[in-house]
Structure 1
Amino acid sequence: MKREIPNLLFKSKSPEISGIEIIRLEKIKEEKESFTHSPEKAHQLEFYQLAFYTDGASEQLIDFVWHKVEKNTVIYVSKGQVNAFKFNEDLKGYLILFTEDYLKEQLTKIPKNTAIRLLTPQLFSPKVQVVQTSNLSAYVELIFEEFYKSTESFNKKYIVNSLFSIIFSKVEEIKKNETDYIKDSEKLTLFLKFQTKLKKMFMSNKNADFYAQELGLTYKHLNVVVKEVINKTAKQYIDEFVILEAKRNLVNSTIKSTELAYLMGFEEPTNFVKYFKKRTGLTPNDFKKEYNKV
């Protein structure tokens, strides 16, 4: 398949610290014409990204949904998600980019729930509005200064890693007061097992009963678990997962909808078209045409 959305790879500019990069949003905006792919056009990430907006108001695209951003907004984007920016003249902020390997190295220092959010973006909103009383901005500015302005190499990596952990702990502290913060770890563990099986088997089975049996649960119990974690039925989550995978493939390559139907596990292309249209209001081809206008 020929890709239409670049699968952007991580490039670190620091010889001392690998796996993490901090960039000003203004710099990306100023240099966007020099990039091989415009950051204002959809692109799929092969790394993790945290955007912290310090001034201005705009929108950021995550998996085909535009999220409004303003001063003190934080946006998570996980590896594999589709991302794009809208750069207004007064927009300012920072991007913290980090690889999966870097994240794995830091997992022991990051709160468990924070790691789950980063690794499982479907569970939570990618947007966090930072309260005015928070000192998060001070730590974001510190990590930027340590990364670029510090001439001392001694302990630089340790300092950056420590600030990284503090930043994500601070964001989690803000997030925990929101209504979607999950407190029942047993249900969360079951949901993550369900999600893992779905990722591996959705092409061959899209039936909620099947996944309940795979997990040794009743259909009713699985629904209770999924409802508690993401306020949706198991079937709703399966359908949303399949549709998102289909959308990513439709705009990320030149694949035809008939080919994609078989790739997604549908026996007949017409069944895939009906399934997609019922849940999006568009045929796969119409979605691709409409999206490419943006």
Structure 2
Amino acid sequence: MRNDIPNLDFNSKKPDNSGIDILTIESLFVRKHEIAHHPEKAHQVTFNMIVFYTGGESRQLVDFVWHNVKKNTVIHLSKGQITAFQFTEGLKGYIILFTEAYLKKQIHSLPKNELIRLFNAHLFSPVIQVPEDDNVITYLQLFYEEYSDIEEGYNQENTYNSLYSIIFSKLERLKQYQTFHLKRSDKLTHFLDFKSLLEIHFNTNRNADFYAEKLHITYKHLNTICKDTVAVTAKQFIDAFVVLEAKRLLINSDIKSTELSYFLGFEEPTNFIKYFKKHTGLTPNSFKKTYL
């Protein structure tokens, strides 16, 4: 299928790159007309990304939702998400890009909770507001200086890895304060299992009973898990998941509404159109025109 909104691949100019890169928002603004895709237009990333704003005020798009940003705002995106920047006067900051392979290499040194909190798009807001007195910016500046050093120093990759781990852990700690209610419990484990099943079966089954049966729990118990974890019912979470996948497919391919309706398991295209409009207020074609 043809891409209408491009997938942007990880592409570092640094030789022998291990899968991590850092640049400034200012440099991206200067180069916006030189790169293959204008960063202010929606695009899908095939890598993970952390954006730390150090000055100015603006907005950033994450999966079709615009989030306000200002000094000390952090936006984190997972592989596959849709984003777009909005450049304004005085906007400054750092962008860390890293591949899925790099993230997997770091997993052994990072607690599992950290990965859940920072890179679970369906579980948490992508926004963190860093307190003024926090020193995470110091490590970002060190990372940028080390990475920008033209002369490769001894053991430099280990320096990157160490600074990355510090930055990641500091951001997770801040995220933990904002999500204090979420603990590594049986409910969270069941919810993550539910989400994994949904990723496999979302285009064949939108019935919460189906997932409860797969998890060997009751429908009522699955509802309680979802309400306690993400404050919505199981059915509401399923619908939100399906609608987001539909949005991504609509704007990232030449798939027609009719084809998409069958792919998502709807018996009739009209049923899909009604379903999509109920949850977004737009028909699939109107939504696509809005973002293209």
TM-score, normalising length from structure 1? 0.96
Cα pair 1:24 1:93 within 8 Å, conserved = yes
2: CA distance, partners of 1:23 / 1:164: 14
Cα pair 1:257 1:285 within 8 Å, conserved = yes
Percent identity at matched positions?
56
Q: State the SS of the aligned residue for 2:131.
A: coil
Aligned amino acid, residue 218 of structure 2: T
Give the gaps of 5 or more residues in structure 1.
none
Task: Give the length in aligned residue pairs.
Answer: 292
Deviations 1:97-136 (A, max 9, x none): 0000000000112232221134421100000000011000
Deviations 1:176-235 (A, max 9, x none): 111465114221111111011111011111000110000000001101111111111000
Cα pair 1:251 1:288 within 8 Å, conserved = yes
Report how far residue 87 of structure 1 moved: 0.5
Report how far residue 287 of structure 1 moved: 1.2
1: CA distance, partners of 2:47 / 2:260: 25
2: CA distance, partners of 1:283 / 1:148: 47
Q: State the SS of the aligned residue for 2:220.
A: helix
Match of 1:209 in 2: 209
1: CA distance, partners of 2:97 / 2:111: 19
Match of 1:132 in 2: 132
Deviations 1:76-112 (A, max 9, x none): 0110000100011210000000000000000112232
Report how far residue 253 of structure 1 moved: 1.6
Aligned amino acid, residue 134 of structure 1: D
Give the gaps of 5 or more residues in structure 2.
none
Cα pair 1:23 1:94 within 8 Å, conserved = yes
Alignment CA distance shift 1:126-1:180 (3 Å): farther
1: CA distance, partners of 2:139 / 2:150: 15
Cα pair 2:53 2:74 within 8 Å, conserved = yes
TM-score, normalising length from structure 2? 0.97
Q: What CA RMSD, in Å, does the superposition of the two structures yield over aligned residues? A: 1.2
Bigger drift between 256-265 and 43-52 goes to: 256-265
Report how far residue 150 of structure 1 moved: 6.3
Deviations 1:225-250 (A, max 9, x none): 11111111000000000000001111
**Counterpart check, 1:80 vs 2:80:** yes
Aligned amino acid, residue 197 of structure 1: L
**Counterpart check, 1:285 vs 2:273:** no
Match of 1:61 in 2: 61
2: CA distance, partners of 1:121 / 1:181: 17
Report how far residue 152 of structure 1 moved: 4.3
Cα pair 1:53 1:70 within 8 Å, conserved = yes
Q: State the SS of the aligned residue for 1:238.
A: helix
Bigger drift between 111-120 and 251-260 goes to: 111-120
Cα pair 2:21 2:97 within 8 Å, conserved = yes
Alignment CA distance shift 1:202-1:213 (3 Å): same
2: CA distance, partners of 1:54 / 1:10: 23
Cα pair 1:53 1:94 within 8 Å, conserved = yes
